[in-house]
């Protein structure tokens, strides 16, 4: 996205790099949603809209807090920006204060052509090539994002046990062809791990599933 979409005649701290900063915040918000969804799947809890919003908000606040300590977030880094106050990082307190203000600015900046609500914090965006600086911070968020994708792809405990009780699961357990061989393999592996860990429900499912029982016996 070009900064010319958000342009003004006189560039100030709250208008400089406005388009890139807006896109960076949008990417960070999307990352918060991804991490929140992955966390709920990792914990194997029901993913209701309210719970997803709450977890996403929590991740966003943590992201802003950590961003305040370092000046780096993955989204801002990808668009070649770092948030600074003076010559250094904004600090934890300003990072935490930025969490709600950045969301409001994300909504109103395209209309007002400036980041009005972050102005009292004294923050400004500094242009930095994406491949320079803050690689450890950005790499950490990238690892978390990949972990979230992993939890989204792999079946949860509940999904695995439920699947093995279905007709496709019966085929899977008895070595018959299934519509999704990878789903069968992942469900059996997860059920075996849970049963080996002492999960009574998983042990009962494995006992009724010859394929899983054979895998557990190896």
Model pLDDT for residues 92-132, shown as the tens digit of each residue:
999 999 999 999 999 998 898 888 877 788 888 888 887 77
Q: In angstroms, rounded to a whole number, what is the distance separating the alpha carbons of residues 181 and 112?
A: 53
- The pLDDT value recorded for residue 198 is 93
Q: 34 near 148, Cβ under 8 Å?
A: yes
Is residue 217's pLDDT more than 80? no
pLDDT at 4 over 60: no
pLDDT confidence of residue 6: 47
Name the DSSP letter for residue 59. H
Whether 196 shows a pLDDT value over 70: the answer reads yes
pLDDT digits (tens, 9 = 90+) for 36-49: 999 999 999 988 99
Query: What percent of the chain clears pLDDT 70, i.e. is strictly above it?
Result: 93
Instruction: Considering only CA atoms, give the Rg of the chain.
Output: 23
């Amino acid at each position: 996205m070009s900064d010319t979409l958000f342009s003004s005649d006189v560039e100030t701290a709250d208008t400089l790099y406005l388009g890139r900063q807006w896109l960076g915040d949008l990417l960070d918000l999307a990352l918060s949603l991804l991490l929140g969804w992955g966390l709920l799947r990792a914990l194997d809890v029901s993913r209701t809209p309210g719970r997803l919003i709450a977890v996403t908000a929590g991740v966003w606040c943590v992201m802003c807090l950590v961003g305040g300590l370092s000046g780096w977030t993955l989204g801002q880094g990808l668009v070649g920006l770092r948030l600074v106050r003076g010559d250094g990082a904004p600090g934890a307190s300003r990072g935490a204060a930025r969490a709600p203000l950045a969301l409001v600015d994300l909504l109103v900046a395209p209309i007002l052509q400036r980041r009005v609500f972050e102005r009292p914090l004294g923050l400004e965006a500094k242009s930095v090539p994406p491949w320079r600086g803050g690689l450890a911070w950005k790499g950490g968020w990238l690892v978390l994002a990949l972990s979230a994708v992993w939890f989204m792809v792999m079946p949860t405990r509940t999904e695995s046990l439920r699947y093995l009780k279905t007709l496709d699961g019966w085929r899977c357990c008895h070595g018959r062809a299934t519509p999704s061989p990878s789903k069968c393999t992942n469900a059996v592996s997860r059920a075996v791990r849970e049963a080996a860990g002492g999960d009574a429900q998983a042990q009962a499912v494995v006992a009724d599933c010859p394929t899983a029982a054979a895998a557990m016996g190896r």
